[in-house]
Amino acid sequence: MNSAADPEGRRTAPAQPWSRFFLPVIAVLAFLLLWECYARLVNPGPTVLPPLSQVVAAGWGDRINLASSLWPTVVEVGVGFAVSVTLAFLLSLVIQLIPSVRRAVLPLLIGSQTVPLVVLAPLFVVWFGFGLLPKVLLIALVTFFPIVVALLDGYASADRESVTVLQTMGANRWQEYRLLRLPGALPALFTGIRISITYAVVAAVFAEYAGAERGLGVYLQGASKSFRTDLVLAGVLVSAVITVVLFVVVTAVERACLPWHAGVKAVTP
Amino acid sequence: MTAVEAAPNAGARGITVEHLSKTFGSLAVLDDVSLQVRRGEFVSILGPSGCGKSTLFSLLTGVHDPDSGRCFIDGEPLAPSRRPFAWMPQRDALLPWRTVSGNVALGAEVAQGMRRRHARAATAHLLQDFGISEFADSLPHEISGGMRQRVALARTIAQNRNIALLDEPFGALDALTRTDLQLWLESMWRTERWSVLLITHDVREAVLLSDRIYVLSDRPARVVGEFSVDLPRPRTIDLLAAPKVAALEVELLHALGGTRSD
Ligand SMILES: Nc1ncnc2c1ncn2[C@@H]1O[C@H](COP(=O)(O)OP(=O)(O)OP(=O)(O)O)[C@@H](O)[C@H]1O
Ligand SMILES: [Mg+2]
């Protein structure tokens, strides 16, 4: 790091392991501890709020079922998210290169976000059945919008002078996009992905709830119907862990793909 | 070394700027600025800090639109699709995700339509000339301000255009490197015969490099003087000891100082 000599740079540059790692872990542990203590001291009953230890034990005991329910959900999230990112990217590309499309499509896009999932999920089952397709569509619908918006914002945030430098070089619209706007929008894209990936698991569970043969949603539904609150909470814990894992993976990919961005951030706080 | 009466002519070859005015909100920045750079001429704009020099370039390049006035290149008006010059902005505008060599190659890649690999090979000698080949694979945020400036200048040269607009290209360099690169630029200009418009607030730099010098007033910038520099080329640092250089520098300082309103 050349910036290490610069005291300004050094102050902001280090990725401090203490705050980056231990703080969130401590916060999570504190929350879990609170849960355990509350459930044991107040004792609201096993169908209302069983203690954490009981939930973990129940989940572990049912781990075969839980794992086999988890897998379809993970597949749905993976496929749905891939579809979502691809579509979002293509749409943002068209909007960026053909400005009149922006005006035409944006109201539709925003409108798509106001449809309540509770209504849509069962409808998707009616339209597309119990297979993978309705889940993928629902996940895409939920996660698509933040990604498109992030990309469009990223394109628009390109440095004015850099744009002009390219234009005086004779760059056409496509070159301007490929050489400047797209790479400049990647940090924003990753921000959009990080936001929307936290919705992806929820959307998948929701879609499964509305109608599926297997999956975490089905598992939760079953546990809930038989008043096994411990298993419901175990399922919820698992989906939370999955979401956190996805979030961390995205962040790691971002670091690996955009070394320049971490560097720029470190130098200019 | 006499003050010349300028008569800008839209039909001339080179850069012609006619009666350019610009205000930002209530802040008048340029006031009826006219100037000309003939084909193959090296012209400097000398003005106090903050007077509106960079703003003049922003009007030529199309970052901003003028309130009034016109600009011509080779007798034809500037248009958004026609800005046939290599511009080096004061803030280097390097692409943060491209390495030093990638940023320099960008000039050849876009302006000359080369393939990326070809552009890199074709601009490798510029990295050498500018003393930045050691940092060829570094990202812009990893190198010093002076290095960045050299990368930006190399990128501008790599475009191989006939007209160059250079906005304080040596401002962040130490005296030795600055003189080296000034002389490098002068020799490059002699062989390539670009038309160069250079912004500076360094009197010595203007004298060392230019055929002619325009002096601008404090904001709002007006042209308060035009000087020709009849020194032999190639220019060398020894020339700086010549009495007429000293005389011209004093004249320029007076022109600059006379612009203070106190
Ligand atoms: N986009 C803008 N909006 C508002 N004011 C601006 C803008 N650009 C420049 N100015 C103002 O115009 C004035 C001239 O700025 P400019 O950058 O042209 O000065 P300069 O002569 O290049 O100065 P320096 O020698 O320090 O580079 C400054 O007072 C600045 O605040
Ligand atoms: Mg300036």
What domain range includes position A227? Answer: 56-267
Q: Which residues of A touch B141 (CB under 8 A)?
A: 3, 260, 263-264, 266-268
Whether residue B52 is predicted with pLDDT greater than 90 in this model: the reply is yes
Q: Which atom of ligand 1 is nearest to the CA of B58?
A: 18
Q: What is the pLDDT of residues B146-178, one digit of tens each?
A: 899 999 999 999 998 989 999 999 988 888 889
In a domain, A38, yes or no: no
Rounded distance from Cα B52 to ligand 2 centre (Å): 7
Closest CA–CA distance from residue A84 to any residue of chain B (Å): 26
Upper half-sphere CA count for residue B193 (Cβ side, 13 Å): 4
Q: Is B27 exposed, middle or buried (0-12, 13-18, 19+ CB in 10 A)?
A: exposed
CATH code for position A85: 1.10.3720.10
Ligand 1, from B26, B55, B60: best to mutate by most atoms within 8 Å of Cβ?
B55
Q: How confident is the model at residue B198 (pLDDT cuts 50, 70, 90)?
A: very high
| Cβ–Cβ under 8 Å, residues A201 and A139 | no
Tell me the DSSP string of B89-125: -SS----TTS-HHHHHHHHHHHHS---HHHHHHHHHH
- Confidence bin at B257 (pLDDT 50/70/90): confident
Facing B97 at nearest CB: one of A166, A167, A260? A260
- Answer yes or no: is the C-beta of B23 below 6 A from any ligand 1 atom: no
Task: Output the pTM of the full model.
Answer: 0.83
Query: What is the tens place of the pLDDT at every residue in A73-128?
Result: 999 999 999 999 999 999 999 999 888 888 888 888 888 888 888 888 889 999 99
Q: What is the pLDDT along chain A (269 residues), one digit of tens a residue?
A: 444 444 333 344 455 666 777 888 899 999 999 999 988 888 888 888 888 888 889 889 999 999 999 999 999 999 999 999 999 999 999 999 888 888 888 888 888 888 888 888 889 999 998 889 999 999 999 999 899 999 999 999 999 999 999 999 989 899 999 999 999 999 999 999 998 998 999 999 989 988 888 999 999 999 889 999 999 999 999 999 999 999 999 989 998 888 888 766 665 54
Predicted pLDDT at A23: 85
Sign of CA dihedral B47, B50, B54, B59: negative
Q: Would you state the pLDDT for residue B260?
A: 52
Q: Rounded to 5, what percent of chain A is helix, strand, coil?
A: 85, 0, 15
**A229 inside domain:** yes
- What's the confidence (pLDDT) of residue A11? 40
* Confidence category of residue B239, pLDDT binned at 50, 70, 90: confident
The distance of A179 to chain B (nearest Cα, Å) reads 9
Rounded Cα distance between B210 and B200, Å, is 11
pLDDT grade for B84, boundaries at 50, 70 and 90 = confident
Residue A154 counted as domain residue: yes
Determine the Cα–Cα distance for residues B59 and B70; give it in Å rounded to an integer: 10
pLDDT at position A16 is: 61
**Domain-embedded: residue A66:** yes
C-beta of B51 in contact with ligand 1 (< 6 A): yes
- Cα of A112 to ligand 2 centre, how many Å? 47
Q: What is the count of structural domains for chain A?
A: 1
Q: Does A99 touch chain B (CB under 8 A)?
A: no
Residue B13 to residue B38: CA distance in whole angstroms: 6
List chain A residues with CB under 8 Å of B144. 2
pLDDT beyond 80 at B99: yes
> What are B192-195's contacts with CB under 8 Å, separation 24+?
B193/B40, B194/B40, B194/B161, B194/B162, B194/B163, B194/B164, B195/B14, B195/B15, B195/B37, B195/B38, B195/B39, B195/B40, B195/B41, B195/B42, B195/B43, B195/B162, B195/B163, B195/B164
Pairing mode, strands B163-167 and B195-200: parallel
Q: Could you tell me if residue A29 is inside a domain?
A: no
The shortest CB-CB distance from A169 to any of B97, B110, B140 is to B110
ipTM of the complex: 0.87
CA B145 to chain centre: 18
- Does A20 reside within a domain? no
Measured in residues, chain B has a length of: 262
pLDDT at B12: 61
Name all domains of chain B by residue range, CATH numbers in brackets.
3-84+162-257 (3.40.50.300), 94-161 (no CATH)
Listed residue (A200, A116, A195, A104) closest to A149, CA to CA: A195
Q: Which residue has the tokens 């790599």?
A: B158
Residue with tokens 């990295």: B127
CA-to-CA distance for A238 and B45, rounded, in angstroms? 67
Structure tokens that stand for B74 in this block: 């080779």
Q: Is B52 in the pocket of ligand 1 (CB under 6 A)?
A: yes
Residue A92's pLDDT is what?
93
Is residue A232 a part of any domain in this protein?
Answer: yes
The pick from B54, B165, B203, B217 for probing ligand 1's pocket by mutation, whose C-beta has the most ligand atoms within 8 angstroms, reads B54
Cα distance from N-terminal residue to C-terminal residue, chain B: 27
Q: Is the backbone peptide bond immediately before B234 cis, with ω within 30 degrees of 0?
A: yes
Which residue in B83, B86, B138 is closest to A167 by CB distance?
Answer: B83
Q: Where are the beta strands (DSSP E) in chain A?
A: none
Of ligand 1's listed atoms, the one at least distance from the Cα of B49 is: 25
Measured between beta carbons, which residues in chain A are less than 8 angstroms from residue B93?
A: 159, 161-162, 165
CB contact under 8 A, B95 and A170: no
Q: What does the angle CA A61 – CA A63 – CA A65 come to, to the nearest 5 degrees?
A: 115
Residues of chain A with Cβ-Cβ distance to B106 below 8 Å are 169, 179
